[in-house]
Amino acid sequence: MDQWYVLKTVPGREQRAADLVKRAVTLGLWEECRVLRKIKVFRSGGALHFPEDVLFPGYVFVRTDCPEALEKELRRSGDFPQFPSITPVEPADLTFLKNVCGRELEQPMGVTRLTLDGDNRIVRADGILNRYLNRIIKLNLHKRFALAQVELFGRSQSVLFGICLEQDDKFYPMRAG
């Protein structure tokens, strides 16, 4: 069974690094190469915007059953921006990544629709954040994000989740599935 690995690169150059893997490494040495993405939420001029952005700046994810051969070809390419080694993605980390980016890590991490009570406490969460409600350390309703503390990559990390509220449905209708 193929394993997912993470390659560290220069933040902001993730797609360039992924393209290089796809171009410079023998096709049979890797099955998938992904820059994980998320949907961000921000307000501008009273309107909500939902652009995509990199979920983990500085990281590229590759699925392979030949990590040593892949690493050898990466080292041979003088174009690579800082791939000192490839690191296996641990099973617990892969579970989180699949929860937020889909089974093949191909979907951007989506926005969670929140229903609040009169005191702005979460009554219902439709989306990815629902699994991490008990880990929220900051909820910013104005800027439409929640920050949750998650065990990831061997340490406790803050992960930013985009949120929208019921009244935002005219801006961001929830997608089925």
Quick one: pLDDT at residue 6?
92
Q: How far apart are the first and last CA of the chain?
A: 27
| Residue 103 forms part of a structural domain | yes
Quick one: pLDDT at residue 125?
95
| Residue 174 forms part of a structural domain | no
| Residue 37 forms part of a structural domain | yes
DSSP string, 85-100: -EEEPPHHHHHHHHHH
Residues of the chain with pLDDT under 70: 1-2, 78-84, 169-177
CATH number at 133 reads: 3.30.70.940
| Residue 31 forms part of a structural domain | yes
Lookup: tokens for 22: 């796809």
Q: What is the rounded CA–CA span in Å between residue 112 and residue 125?
A: 6
Write down the residue that tokens 């099973």 correspond to: 91
pTM: 0.85
| Residue 128 forms part of a structural domain | yes
Residue 90: phi, psi to the nearest 5?
A: -70, 155
Kindly report, residue by residue over 51-64, the tens digit of the pLDDT: 999 999 999 999 99
| Residue 150 forms part of a structural domain | yes
For the chain, percent of residues with pLDDT exceeding 70: 89
Report the domain count for the chain. Answer: 1
Lookup: tokens for 136: 């929220």
| Residue 173 forms part of a structural domain | no
